[in-house]
Structure 1
Amino acid sequence: MMEKANALILQMEKCIANENPIKVEGKLKVGVDLGTANIVITVLDSNDIPVAGAIYPADVVRDGIVVNFVEAVQIIRKLKAQLEKQLGRELIYAATAIPPGIMEGNVRVIKNVVEGGGFIVTNVLDEPTAAANILNINSGAVVDIGGGTTGISILKDGKVIYSADEPTGGRHLTLVTAGALNMEYEDAEEYKKDINNYNMVFTMVRPVIEKMSSIIQKHIKGYNIDTIYLVGGTCCLRNIENVVEEYTGVKTVKTYNPLLATPLGIAISVK
């Protein structure tokens, strides 16, 4: 199960790194992920195989809410044009995703951003459900820890039976790092990502990870969950899955490069 997901994510990584022209016949499926730290566009062929992708660091979404509509639209237009040039064809339809449990008005705004970027939106789903598409699971808890929020979806027999979202994510890890080291936020973000600083950073941010774990534990209580699946950019932090498993007592696994799991799952949802 995870092997197939990891292989697709690895292929998407290669696609994002490749800037050479690509010729693909047939239907293309596009996913647009408006994240707190990055905007990601993934393109799959009709068999759900990655063919192209693009990622752009952006600070246009906070806690699931678009805070800079114009910049978000401009970034999507730029990435769309870049991918269309690479593929030699127009990208028309796309799916996008939202954190679970956000207000209907915010859902409309996210859809409007993607449409403002030049796509016709054919599907809007919540982020953990999108990730479940790439994981190809029928039961368990999918937890998407992004830059601003921790989203939880509980699946049973292939259907989402419960979802929730709370405002704790990667930004909070950066804020703790910045406070502890007396750094500006941007400097702390880069410091946090540097693998050479891992031991110090992990020690500082572990209490925040434990808070995320308590959020997960609260929302899965009573659902008889046997596995927690972690996705989202914040889960790229090494050993985060071990803290969640230790705290919740539930087997916890994560994909290779969890940042790309949800964007891939979004594209898979395109009909």
Structure 2
Amino acid sequence: MPRKTRLALLIFNSLLFAGAVPAADDLTPSRRLRVSDVFHQGEAVLFHDDFRSGRLDSWNFSENDQYELAKPTPERVSVVDAPGLAEGKMAVRMVVQRAPDSFRSEISLPSEKGFQERWYAVRLLIPDEWVFDPAKGDDIVMQWHGIPGNWRPTHPNLAISVANDRWFVRQHFGSPQDKPGRTKVELDEPVQRGVWSMWVIHAKWSPEDDGLLQIWKDGKLMMERTGPNVYGTIGVDYTPYFKTGIYHPEWHLDDERKLTAFEKEMPVATKKIVYVTGVTVGDARMTLEKISPKP
């Protein structure tokens, strides 16, 4: 069998196994929520979800290279009891199994027009069963992404990821047509498995020098940076949209070289799982004290 055919079959079979390719009688319309569907415009708290409803009505879904899904695959994205939290607390559980081209399980909020100043709060759990892998790249667990314009950006404006046992923050901004600006910061604190981390992100999104980014973890300021933090040359002004879950680029097998390496590898980690709850988005009137997740 030609190698390209084998690559296509491996990818299709893995997607079918993972539920990303539905059977003919299971096709459902796609959906894409907009800001007006989920944000409380004019209020200081624009959005909050602690998942106690057991539903994901306020979220968009993406699995592998599929976007605007009408519903997620339950084995990939589901609302469950929040591990280690009080009875009645709920969280969304996102899973990626190691398989050819199985690399993404995420939920996301819509993008907003214009460059807005926003506050975000998120509680996130890297569970005990997470396997630290020093040989592999990052697992992005939170990201703020750009929408396509006259040039399709391929990197999020802001990403918080896990690489081995460390937290990293990456930024991409400026002009994707030319060479965009990039930063990478390793945070001082290691990743603790089985412990909920509480994140607050304050961003004044701007392509100019008046941009601002502040990140707190568990009440401690981990990073502060001024200057541009979005793409400014794609022909549209927008606030990057928030995504969370698992995105593991190493399992995105979009060429033969990656497939060959994947087949030969003796894997250390065969499954990625994260839990998220208490997602809040606030406007410029918000403060650190008001939005910080309570222990």
TM-score by length of 1: 0.29
Whose helix proportion is higher, 1 or 2? Answer: 1
TM-score by length of 2: 0.27
Query: Which of the pair has the greater relative contact order for Cα pairs under 8 Å at 6+ separation?
Result: 2
Whose strand proportion is higher, 1 or 2? Answer: 2
